[in-house]
Amino acid sequence: MLIADRYKLVGPTAGGGMGDITQCVDTHLDRRVVLKSLQPGVEHGRLLDEQRALTQLRSKHVVQLFDIVELPNNGQKALVLEYIDGADLAFAGYQADRKFVHILWQIACGLRDVHAANVIHRDLKPNNIRIDTEGVVKIFDFGLARSVGLDNKTRSIIGTPVFMAPELWGETTISFSTAIDVYAFGVTAIALLSGTMPPALLARPPLPVARSNVEEILEGLPTDLVTQLARCLEIDPSNRPKMADVAAILERHLLYQRHRAIAVINSEAKTLDTTSKNIVMKVGPDKSMTIQYNGDDFLVSEVQGAVFINNSGATVGKIIPGCCVITFGIHGEQRTFVTFDIANPEVMA
Amino acid sequence: MILGQTVSGRYQVGEHIGRGGMQDVYRARDLLLQIDVALKTPQPGQATRRFKQSAILAARVNHYNVAKTYDYIEENGAVYLVEEFVPGETLEAKIARYHILDPYLGALVLHHLAKGVAASHHAGVVHRDLKPSNVMTEPGINIRALKVTDFGIATLTNDLFEEAANDGNLTLSTSGTIRGALPFMAPEMMFRQPGEHPGKPADIWSIGAMMFRLLAGDYPFGVYLEAAVNVKNRERKEWPKFMTRKPQFNLLSLELQEVVDKCLSYDPADRPTADQLVSLCGSLCYSTAERIECKLQNMIQGGYSGLLTSKRGKLFFSMKSVYGLKSPNESENTSVSVSRYPGTPYDRAHPVLVIAPKP
């Protein structure tokens, strides 16, 4: 059977919870695509608007929509989406290492992008995230979760238990925000590392989770990252961070110990990095400054006399901006200038 | 094609935006998804039979740094390829304003190109015509991401090159596409013999030649037939001195030169693979800070430094931050591209590149 004169059914047809998923071949381009029929209970207008918004966004981490068709058997609408060759993220399939942080960073970047377009995923979980053969994280099933009618008692239920934010467990239809994705992101981080969920997260509705529980599962990650991920699990949505902030802190950790600064003194370049962390600069008998690399930033660790960074007085603890001129001496006297430029490898998906 | 015409009941044809050697490109509106797309159709006289095969091949590549293939349509005897529309301009247009790229921008371009080409090579697709005019990037003076286009006609390009080689000497071809490709064409492609099929390493050479052009401001072997002669004689131009003269830029410039030198190995077996190139780029340290366009206000401190005006106030710069062949001065070269860093009383500009004034 050909759908819309071009899509040929192949492979097993899986009846997913959120939409019937069908593997097809697009006969025009001889490539695999995925057909998802829209389920009753999903507001079609809203969903199609969101899908178009995502298409315009062209995020690296969002699955591409190619077409919208009507199914011949029941006249239902279906999305034709790009098929991602790769594997879904595995529950408890990761360790708290750099690879894990890189995956979390990519998910966070994807959610940051879609939240900027005012789209809420509604059903983020490891089996809605796939890594393609190039190592790029792709998030799918945006907005496919139905908003109402899962059962009579919990009219407002959206998404998948455990990944559902506490505010979604109410008795009445409620309003919700991008913070439900932030919560699901936090649970996803836990689920990727551990086969055992903290009991507080399994409660319905979920309860505040003890910091020690989170720490235990995220052991090996830096403290500030653990704090940020724990904040994603806050009961009050307004206490959860924005995805952009989560992405930024993850990127910071991916760059830990990978910066390089070049200081040019009297036309001679000196390199600072993780193997050479300090530079001591002395000018005359009364002026000096030491800059130290702590893995994240380059900081003034010692300063004596009149020393300025981009014309502002240098003080101990000050973080050097990306590029600057360090001036030894004051206007009117013989001054020495040092340029200091910081760069790092570009973190890419 | 007619403006306003609708293809496949879905794509409304807009303005003509480009003409390759083999195809016409239109901007079109996808009425179903409400996005702009690039609609490509073979030029009259071009064989359409291979167009579909080319589209199928390109559709296998799925990467952010490659323009996506969306659709292929045959309608009323005409064929169309629908590709992701990348709003912005080509690297060729970018270089018309920049003349050269500083090592930070250069490293970014190389890294993103390597990523895109690696993904296509994984899918078994060789581009064969990589050049600045086939790489799209954002409008304005920033380059923060780029996408390689025209994988969709890779098969056609291959046919064209093969035909020319079978007819005798490819480098003497009068085809506009071949002449345009020569400055970036690998030796094994230029001097191929019937039955030879240059593959992935040819793309790596093209990346190298393109990067040389962007970093040095010149074609590594010249243009047209001159390129073929110089490649044959293995007479490549030297890296210009300005790249390494200033200590702030020296280190990254040297690192980039080393990578590009490897890509321009005459023996294809000596070139890095796209994966190796990605890995080499992964260790390059470069700034991705936003670029802004400024005007020189006046030079100060006896020409040792100067002040720039921007939309958000004045900036200070030192001549040590000026990169390239041209330096700003009060009578000419007053348009510059810089990144901004906090300072008192003025923010600091670094690096400083003289660019052509807005056309």
Out of A112-126, A147-161, B16-30, B338-352, which region has the weakest mean confidence (pLDDT)? A147-161
Q: Count CA atoms closer than 13 A to B28's CA, side-chain side.
A: 32
Higher pLDDT, A205 or A276: A276
Contact B348 A325 (CB under 8 A): yes
**Does residue B1 lie in a domain region?**
no
Check A325 against B318: CB less than 8 A apart: yes
How many Cα neighbours within 13 Å face the side chain of A80?
Answer: 23
For residue A137, the distance in angstroms to the closest alpha carbon of chain B comes to 11
Closest CA to B79 of B133, B30, B40: B40
Residue of B nearest to A309 (CA): B343
Q: Which of B84, B113, B137 is the last residue of a domain?
A: B84
Q: Considering chain A, what is the average pLDDT of its residues?
A: 89
In this structure, are B301 and B315 located in the same domain? yes
User: How high is the ipTM of this complex?
Assistant: 0.92
Residues of B numbered 13-42 whose beta carbons fall under 8 angstroms of chain A's beta carbons: which are they? 32-35
For position A158, what pLDDT does the model report? 59
Backbone angles phi, psi at B28, to 5 degrees: -135, 160
> What are the pLDDT digits (tens) for A84-97?
999 999 999 999 99
Name residues whose C-beta falls within 8 Å of residue A113's C-beta, 6 or more positions apart in sequence.
A57, A59, A60, A61, A62
B84 bridge partner residues: B37
B250: chain A residues, CB-CB within 8 Å: 269
Query: Could you tell me the residue ranges of all domains in chain A?
Result: 2-82, 86-254, 260-343
Contact with chain B for residue A43, Cβ under 8 A:
no
Tell whether B326 is covered by a domain.
yes
**B7, B31, B33, B254: best mutation site toward chain A, by most A Cβ within 10 Å?**
B33
Name the A residues in 171-210 with CB < 8 Å from any B CB: none
**Better-scored residue on pLDDT, A116 or A41:** A116
- Superfamily, domain A86-254: Transferase(Phosphotransferase) domain 1 (1.10.510.10)
Residue A147: pLDDT over 50: no
CATH of the domain at B19: 3.30.200.20
Cβ of A259 within 8 Å of Cβ of B285? The answer is yes
A150 pLDDT exceeds 60?
A: no
- Of A68, A136, A346, Cβ closest to residue B288: A346
The reply to whether B122 and B236 lie within a common domain is: yes
Is residue A278 a contact partner of residue A291, using CB atoms and an 8 Å limit? yes
B118 plus B267 within the same structural domain: yes
> Does A259 contact B70 at a Cβ distance shorter than 8 Å?
no
Residue A302, min C-alpha distance to chain B (Å)? 20
Residue A142's pLDDT is 81
Query: By the 8 A CB rule, do A132 and B118 touch?
Result: no
Last residue of a domain, one of B84, B99, B117: B84
- Which residues in chain A are contacts of B59 at CB distance < 8 A? 29-31
Beta-bridged to residue B34, according to DSSP, are none
Q: What does the pLDDT look like over A63-83, one tens digit per residue?
A: 999 999 988 877 788 899 999
Residue among B35, B122, B247 whose CB faces A268 most closely: B247
Q: For the domain bounded by A260-343, which CATH number is listed?
A: 2.60.200
Strand order in the sheet with B146-148: B89-90, B135-137, B146-148
Total domains present in chain B: 3
Range of the domain at B197: 89-282
Residues B190 and B169 in one domain: yes
Residue B54 with chain A: CB contacts under 8 Å = none
Asked if B110 and B207 count as a contact pair (C-beta separation under 8 A), the reply is: yes
Q: B105 to chain A: nearest residue by CA?
A: A346
Q: What is the DSSP letter of B203?
A: H
The phi and psi torsions of A96 (rounded to 5 degrees) equal -75, 70
B350 touches chain A (CB under 8 A): yes
* Cβ contact B70–A66 (<8 Å): yes
Report the chain A residue with the minimal C-alpha distance to residue B68. Answer: A64
Residues B263 and B344 in one domain: no
**Among B69, B84, B99, which residue terminates a domain?**
B84
**Gyration radius from chain B CA atoms:** 22
Q: Does A67 contact B at CB distance below 8 Å?
A: yes
B248 in contact with A at a CB cutoff of 8 Å?
yes
**Could you tell me which of B275, B206, B224, B217 has the C-alpha nearest to residue B241?**
B217
Could you give the residue ranges of the DSSP H alpha helices within chain A? Answer: 44-57, 98-116, 179-193, 199-202, 211-217, 223-232, 243-254
The residue ranking higher by pLDDT, B25 or A170, is B25
Q: What is the pLDDT of residue A173?
A: 58
In DSSP terms, B313 is beta-bridged to B310
Measure the CA–CA gap between A216 and A198, rounded to whole angstroms. Answer: 10
pLDDT by residue, tens only, chain B of 359 residues:
788 899 999 999 999 988 766 889 999 999 999 999 999 998 877 667 788 888 999 999 999 999 999 999 999 989 999 999 999 999 999 999 999 999 999 999 999 999 999 999 999 999 999 999 999 999 999 999 999 998 877 778 888 888 888 888 888 888 888 888 899 999 999 999 888 889 999 999 999 999 999 999 999 999 988 999 999 999 999 999 999 999 999 999 999 999 999 999 999 999 999 999 999 999 999 999 999 999 999 999 899 999 999 999 999 999 999 999 999 998 889 999 999 999 889 999 999 999 999 87
Mean pLDDT throughout A300-319? Answer: 95
A171 falls in which pLDDT band (50, 70, 90)? low
Fold for domain A2-82? Phosphorylase Kinase; domain 1 (3.30.200)
Collapsing DSSP to helix, strand or coil, A269 comes out as: strand
Residue A251, chain B, CB below 8 Å: the answer is no
Q: How far is B287 from chain A (nearest CA, A)?
A: 5
C-alpha angle with apex A347: A341 to A348, nearest 5 degrees?
140
| Chains A, B: CB pairs < 8 Å | 122
Q: Hey, is the C-beta of A5 within 8 angstroms of any chain B C-beta?
A: no
B101 and B250, same domain (yes or no): yes
A310 touches chain B (CB under 8 A): yes
- Using a CB–CB cutoff of 8 Å, tell me whether B71 touches chain A: yes
